[in-house]
Amino acid sequence: MTAISSSPTSASQVLERNISQFNDKSVLVAGAIEDTYAIELAKVCNSVHVFTTYYSAYQALQQSDQIELDFGASFTPETPLEVDAVIVYLPKTKAEVDYLLANVVPQIKMGGILYLVGDNRGGIKSVDKQLTPYSSNKANKLDSARRCSLLALEISQACQPFQLDDWLTTYPCEVKGERLDIVSLPGVFSAKELDLGTRLLLENIAPLKGNALDIGCGAGVIGSFLLKQNPELKVEMTDVSALAVESAKLTLAKNGLNAHVFPSDVYSEVGQRYTTLVSNPPFHAGLNTNYGAVEQIIADAKQHLKIRGRLILVANKFLRYEPLFEKAFTHCELLTETTKFKLLSNYPD
């Protein structure tokens, strides 16, 4: 996820061009929110409710008392909101789109409008098939600008309330003789199979003592395996995504393991030091390559490591993380590598 901008992104600028669509309406905003435009939207709407699965967006929007704000893996208010309109910033994968629509469309009153806005390269041109459960109509294109499109669909079919269990994927995974069942929600890293970079890390990481933090935990694969391999280790896991946090909690429960899992935008909610920091960090934000998260993981690691603590990262071979390590720690150690991945660490102080 990219950093949350106080200025409107291209998608929000397209919404701004069509602001009259939302005058005096009750609106629910959800999806891949990358700015604080919902605060501006609240100035013309009767009410604005925001549902986000990204902790960074939740943190940025907390500044406003003009919007209702929900952060979590699912959106299931006790009674449907029955809003006039839902605005969905289109997520990057079809699985996430389906999951999000199942969450938010039940909150639209019959005859209300679902608005979808997103990058023309990101799937909005082929979203029609995913809308068939919600309307007998086709979505209308209202606008296209800044390489983004805005679609509108009148809701004409009733849909079932959202059920989280319907969206869970479970698969077995074995590393170094330890077997786990991984549970995941759509769009979460390692959602359907063990990533080869993660496997390289787990097969080559030395036995650990003390405490460890799994940064960007995804479905909880790394942290859970560390617990299996090191039963006395105290493990915590963080992720900016509520879907990942929920998936990691479910993976732990499925395997009878215990760890503290909490949302955090890299270190934003991390308040202690660890013997080991470990991560298979993301380097994409939406459709773009983005090193912001990994740069922060490395640059600020010392503040969250105990004396002689280690940061261990797995990375694609082409990513140049070594200079970041050298700047933060003076040295960078290559623990192992394959043709596609490498395992990097600092020299303990």
Domain residue spans in the chain?
Answer: 10-163, 168-345
d(CA 208, CA 156): 56
Task: Give the relative orientation of helices 242-254 and 221-229 as an angle to the nearest 10 degrees.
Answer: 30
CATH number of 168-345: 3.40.50.150
Question: In the prediction, which pLDDT does 166 show?
Answer: 96
Question: In the prediction, which pLDDT does 2 show?
Answer: 57
Question: In the prediction, which pLDDT does 283 show?
Answer: 67
* Coil, helix or strand at residue 165: helix
Residue 28 pairs in a beta bridge with 49, 86
d(CA 274, CA 304): 6
Question: In the prediction, which pLDDT does 293 show?
Answer: 87
Question: In the prediction, which pLDDT does 59 show?
Answer: 96
* Six-digit token string for 36: 């604080």
* Six-digit token string for 258: 């215990």
CB-hemisphere CA count at 13 Å for 147? 7
Identical fold for domains 10-163 and 168-345, yes or no, is yes
d(CA 134, CA 49): 21
* Mean pLDDT in order along the chain per 10 residues (349 residues): 83 97 98 96 97 97 95 95 97 93 97 96 89 93 96 94 96 94 92 90 96 97 96 97 98 98 97 97 57 90 96 94 94 95 89
In what helix (H) or strand (E) does residue 30 lie, and over which residues does it extend? strand 26-31
Question: In the prediction, which pLDDT does 349 show?
Answer: 65
* Six-digit token string for 154: 């009148």
Residue 70 burial by Cβ neighbours in a 10 Å radius (0-12, 13-18, 19+): middle
Question: In the prediction, which pLDDT does 285 show?
Answer: 45
Question: In the prediction, which pLDDT does 191 show?
Answer: 74
CA distances to 120, 302, 333 from 267, in Å: 33, 12, 23
Question: In the prediction, which pLDDT does 288 show?
Answer: 47
Question: In the prediction, which pLDDT does 284 show?
Answer: 46
Residue 129 burial by Cβ neighbours in a 10 Å radius (0-12, 13-18, 19+): exposed
pTM score of the predicted model: 0.94
Question: In the prediction, which pLDDT does 192 show?
Answer: 81
Question: In the prediction, which pLDDT does 41 show?
Answer: 97
250: closest CA among 269, 276, 229, 223? 223
Q: Which CATH code of 3.40.50.150, 3.30.420.40, 3.30.2320.50, 3.40.50.620 fits the domain covering 10-163?
A: 3.40.50.150
Q: How many CB atoms lie within 10 A of CB 44?
A: 15
CA angle 244, 237, 245 (to 5 degrees): 20
